[in-house]
Structures are given as C-alpha cells and as structure tokens.
Chains A and B, each alone.
Chain A
C-alpha cells in the first residue's frame, strides 16, 4: 500500500511538472509568436523539404496576425486552386476561430460569375481571367477585378516510364495533340515520328488530358495548340491523378497534368523553352519561367482601385502571401512564389 501511495505521488508530481512546462505562455510574447506556434513553422518547413520544394522562408515576410478577426469568407472557384485555398483555410481557421470560411469548388466558368454577382469574396482560378470575363466585371463595377498570384505550377508532359523520348518542342506537342496543327503544320501520330526506334516506331500515340472546362486544358490549348482544337481521340479524365495513371498504364500514352501528380511509373518530358534549350518543370525553371508551360494559380477579388482590401478576405490573402502561407503551399505539393511576386501581391492588396 505504501508503495502504491509513493507511485501515485510521484506520478502526480511528474504530471504537474509536465503540465507546467507545456502550458501556454501568456506573458510577454506577442500575438505573432502565439500564431507562429499555431501555424507550426518547423512542421511546414519539414514538409516542404520532404516534398522536394525548398521554401523561401528566409526571404518571405512572416505573417503578422491581427488581434481579433471575425466574419465570413466565401470562396467559389476552380478545383485545383480551391484545393490549395482549402489547405490554407484549415490553418486560418485555427488562428481565427471566429471566421467562417466556406470553400466551394466549381467549374472554372462559375467563379468569375460568382464574383460578378457578389456571391463570392474569393475566386480561386488556375488561369488568368479572360478578356470577356474582365470586360463583364468592368462593365458592372467600373473597374477590373484584381488577380492575386498565390502559387506557381507547371503543366507537365507525362509519358510511361519505359518511353525514352528525350524532349519535345511546343510544335511537336501541337502535332501530337492538335487536329488543326496551327503551330506545327504536321500531324504526329506514332512514336517513330519523334525519333524512337525499335518496337516504338509503329506504336500509336494515345492522348490523355483534361476536359474543356478545366483551366489546364484552356492553358494548354492557348499556349501549345495556338488556340486550335484538340484531337477527338483525346481521352478526357476526371482529374490529374486519373490522367497520370492513364499514362502509367499505357506504354504508348502521353498526357498533360499538373506536376503535382507525378508518380513512379511515369516520366516527365523536358520541353524546349524560348531559347531552344530543353527544360524540366523544376521549381527553379517554373519560377524563372524558362519552362514554357509554367503557370500561376490565382485568387481573384473585387477591390476598387486605390482602396485597400479590408475584412477577413484581405487577412486571408495576407496570410496566404506570407512565409507561413507559402509554406503551406509547398507542404501541399505546390510550388511557392518567389519573394518579388509575393511582394507584388501584398502591394496590390494594400494600395
């Protein structure tokens, strides 16, 4: 019995000591430190590194939280960027529990109309707004919508891992994917036409890609097909991972999807840049735009000119354009922005 008492007493003392050491610090540290604790910078750094994307945490400005924040944010937009917004929103909610954040994915054409009608505070997009969308908005409000870059991305060209095609030009891609061949002028339907030999010479090329409602499809159509039409044989898949798996399961396949979806059974093909040299969609080549199918992910907002954006939506974007926000971007597998682009975005919000 005496031993039991002793053990209980020791356990209680240990519990008290542990409890004291792990209790929240409520003294001289500011809100910034407490928020930093919540955001868990070390974890995000580690995850960013683990994903092979080195975060520019030493050059990006840290997030400085406000004392209190409440309200509602509605985000309606395209799914690729909505995924990113939802990840950041999870951390944002933990910092500001009084903010209600509703994140809804929609077809890419729905977001701009939701912004136009005032149904959405944030509109995630995987491509810039089209002139028609900007025109409609300007017609109603008298000023254009504001597009904030929140992450970088690359449309990668995938082939099966056994395919040895060394690199492709945009002209060759046009010949492969397009039925109009505006850029190349010639049709490429077999791997032998791309220099492959042996059993590959007569192997037909199978195409995988996104549907017409997806931003990636529209970017590819604009930059590679020169506005031309996709071949009817393009196999449209429901998402990026479906495209990549389609390629992985078919030795004769080629497909385009975000670099986010790369996997072991596929190989990413280098593309010829503007200088004629071939570039892989690495973080560096995407940031400096040498890789020709680099793109930004955007969040569009309704901000009158020369009036700083206010409210919880502005705070959310400030968080997204901070060191912590970009670390979440990297941890999720996307490519974070460089310091200059982040600064440009913050300036746009504040001016």
Chain B
C-alpha cells in the first residue's frame, strides 16, 4: 500500500515533468513543419536549438566515453588489488554500467536515450558518492572512482542542459533525488530507466509528441516500417560491435565471482597456508638438525661430566691415601699418642667412600661402553630421521594436492570460457544472419511498396517484430 502511495506521488511528479517536457523542450518537435527538415528536440540556454541527429551523435558518443572512463577506472581499481571482493565489485560495476549504457545508447529515440543516460549516470553516482558506498567497498582507493563518476554525471547534465530548460533540470534533479531517498537500499541502479518512473507509459513522451504531430503522416506505413527496421538494424549492429567487449568482461566477471566465493576463498587460503609450509620446509629441516645436534651435545656433556666426576674421585682417593700416609708418617713424640680407634674409623670411612666412587665409576664406564647407550643413541638418531622424513612426505603431499586443485580449477575455468565463447559466437552468427535476411527482405519488398504499399509494409513490420521477438 505504501509503495503504491509513493508510486502515486511519484507518478504525480512525473506527470509534472512530462507536462514540462511536452510543453517545453520537445515542443519544437510538434511544430516541425516538414518531414525532411531536421528535427529540433530542445533549446540551449543561449537559445540555440539542438537537432535530433545531433543529439543522436552526442548521446552515443557520451555512452562510449562513459563506458571507456568507467572501464579504465575499474581496471585501475583492480590492478595490484589483493582483495577479491574489491576486484569483483569493480568488474560488476563496469559490466553492469557498460551493458546498460550500451543498451540505452542503442535505443532508437534520441530523447529517451538522453533521459535514460541522465537517470543512470546520476543514480550510479548517487549510490557510490553521495551514499559513500565507494568508501565501504573501495576503502583507500575511492578517489579514482569518485572522480570518474562525478565527471560523468557533470557531463551527462551538461548534455541534458542542451535539451532541457533549467527548471526542467531542477525538477529532474529533485525527481531522481526523491527516488533515491525512497529506495536507499538499491545499489544496482544501472538497470533503472526513466520509463520505470512512469505508470502505464508505453511510449516515450517524445514518441507521443511525434505521433500527435502527424510528422510521419505523409510518409506512409511502408516507410514507417522501413524506418523501424532500419533503427532495429542499427541498434543490433551497435550492440553487436560492442558485444565482444561485453562478453570478455562477462567472462572476467565470472572469474572474479568464482575467486570471490567462500569455497574458493577457503581453498586459496589453504593454498597460501600450504605454500607457506612448503616454503618453511628447509627451515624446519634445519631446525630438526639443530635439535638433534643439541641433543647430541647434551649427551656429550653428560659423558664429560662423568669424566670430571671420575677425576675428582681420583683426587679424593689420592687425598685419602695422603691422609693415611700422614697417619703413617706422623711423629709420635710431638703429638698425642696414636689411637688405633681413630685410624680404624678413618680407614673405614675412606674405604666406604672409595668403594662408592669406584662403583660409580664402574657403572659410568659400563654405561658408556654398553650396548644400551648405543641403542639409545640410535633411537634418537632414528627418531630424528623419521621426523625429517615425515615432514618431507607431508610437504610433498601438500604440494601435490594443492597443485592438483589448481589444475582442476583452471581446467574448469577454461572449459567455461570455451563454452561461453562458443555460445557467443553462435549467437552472433544467428543474429547477423537474421539481420541480413530481414534487411534483404525489406529491400526486396520496398521495391513493391510503390505499387502495393499496405501489403509489404505489414510484412516488413512483421519481419521487424520477428527480429525483435527473436
């Protein structure tokens, strides 16, 4: 209901606009005196009229400039950009705008074409600049796009100013702004046309004026049919000439879409992670070697410390022997009398200590010379070898799996590319055949028009319609 009411209000504004349009800018059309005189579609501020043929050229040239500027801007946005989402957005923006602007530019009615170009360029610039979508999507790279879109909008309005009066432009500006206010979430606006604003408006205001003025009244139905077919043919050739570019961009968009999907993104993340692991492999092996060397060094340290203990024990034994010798060589006259109990106790203590030390030395020597020590060393060595081998195997597996996935993805993309190109080629061939046959049919029927005007005209129109429907 709300939508209906808004649409109703909008339609009312549009009615005002169309009234202006009919009364003002395109009024000259209704007053066109002769069929061969150039059609005047508006007046500039300086009062200089602009002819339909001129507007024809201007709008098509603008369309090509707009697409060219946007394409170079989006290419710049994509260049060296590591973010797949940004690359995809840039590609989609370029593709959508180019497709729709070419579609508009191939419209037969120059006036409608100009209005549609004005609508698309304005709405696209409002979405990206005014609503600051450019900062959300292309953070840090927004300047290029802002400059391109604003420049295009200014150019489109300058073009419109050659046809519309200032108050018409002001009202159009308000109309578009109001539409944007009521559709704030719509970001793909290049599909919007001026005719979308109208309810039940089958033809452009310009066409209505043309029909009402009776401009074609003396041309005859056959002539009208031929003109319609000629326009259709022109439109087809216009689109066909630009189709390869659009097709190439479409394929690029598919590629960017594929790369930006979550699954492929995860795969790429895995790929990056595994690649990093492969790169880390030599470092890991070096670390393993370093660990083994450290372990061996520590083992050597134990042996060395055992040797040192042995030496210190030997020293102790020497000391003990010295002590005993001292007791043996003591001057009994200068000291207290020899006590056999002290000597016995000392000898006993030293004997125990020496025995312990000898046992320790013995066990150490046994350990170093034993097969158990060799076995442990072998275990350490074997473990290190296994770890190195395992790391190498894992790395190889990672590399194999990753490259297999990459090959599969590339194969899939190539197959898709070939299918797309084949389909496009077939479509183009079919379209060209139809256009050529229709044009040839019209020419042959046009020869009979002088004698049988109504019949061939009907056939030509039906042929043209067939072309459209197909």
Contacts and interface: CB of A to CB of B under 8 A. Distances in A.
Interface string B132-159: 1001000000000011011001100100
A264 to B, nearest CB: 4
A238 B169 contact: yes
Interface in B136-186: 146-147, 149-150, 153-154, 157, 160-161, 165-174, 176-178, 181
Contact of B161 (A213, A238, A245): A238
Interface in A256-271: 260-261, 263-265
Contact of A240 (B126, B146, B153, B174): B174
Interface string A85-118: 0110111011000000011111100000000000
13 contacts: A79-B171, A86-B16, A90-B8, A90-B11, A90-B12, A93-B12, A107-B166, A107-B167, A239-B170, A239-B173, A245-B129, A245-B153, A249-B150
Given A241-B126, A242-B157, A105 B167 contact: yes
A227 to B, nearest CB: 23
Given A238-B169, A239-B172, A82 B16 contact: yes
Given A93-B12, A103-B12, A263-B132, 8 more contacts: A40-B5, A43-B2, A86-B12, A90-B9, A242-B157, A248-B146, A249-B147, A265-B132
B1 to A, nearest CB: 8
Interface string B7-25: 0110111011001100100
A84 to B, nearest CB: 10
A332 interface: yes
A181 B89 CA distance: 47
B56 to A, nearest CB: 22
A148 interface: no
Contacts of A82: 16, 171
A102 B181 CA distance: 25
Given A82-B16, A104-B19, A249-B147, A261 B177 contact: yes
A104 B20 contact: yes
A83 interface: yes
Contacts of B13: 83, 86-87, 90
A242 B173 contact: yes
A312 interface: no
Contacts of B177: 239-241, 260-261
What bracket does the count of chain A residues touching chain B fall in?
A: 35 or more
Interface of B: 1-2, 5, 8-9, 11-13, 15-16, 19-20, 23, 122, 125-126, 129-132, 135, 146-147, 149-150, 153-154, 157, 160-161, 165-174, 176-178, 181
A281 interface: no
Contacts of A105: 16, 20, 167-168, 170-171
A291 to B, nearest CB: 22
Nearest to A237: B157
Interface in A203-229: 211, 213-214
A248 B19 contact: no
Contacts of A106: 167
B174 A103 contact: no
Contacts of B20: 104-105
Contacts of B170: 79-80, 105, 214, 238-239
Given A43-B2, A90-B12, A105-B167, A238 B132 contact: no
A122 to B, nearest CB: 13
A333 interface: yes
A263 B131 contact: yes
Contacts of B181: 333
A265 B130 contact: yes
A276 B173 CA distance: 35
B194 to A, nearest CB: 16
| Ranked 7 nearest A-B pairs via Cβ | A239-B173, A90-B12, A249-B150, A263-B130, A238-B169, A79-B170, A264-B132
Nearest to B11: A90
Contacts of A265: 129-132, 135
Contact of B16 (A103, A238, A245, A246): A103
A168 to B, nearest CB: 23
B131 A264 contact: yes
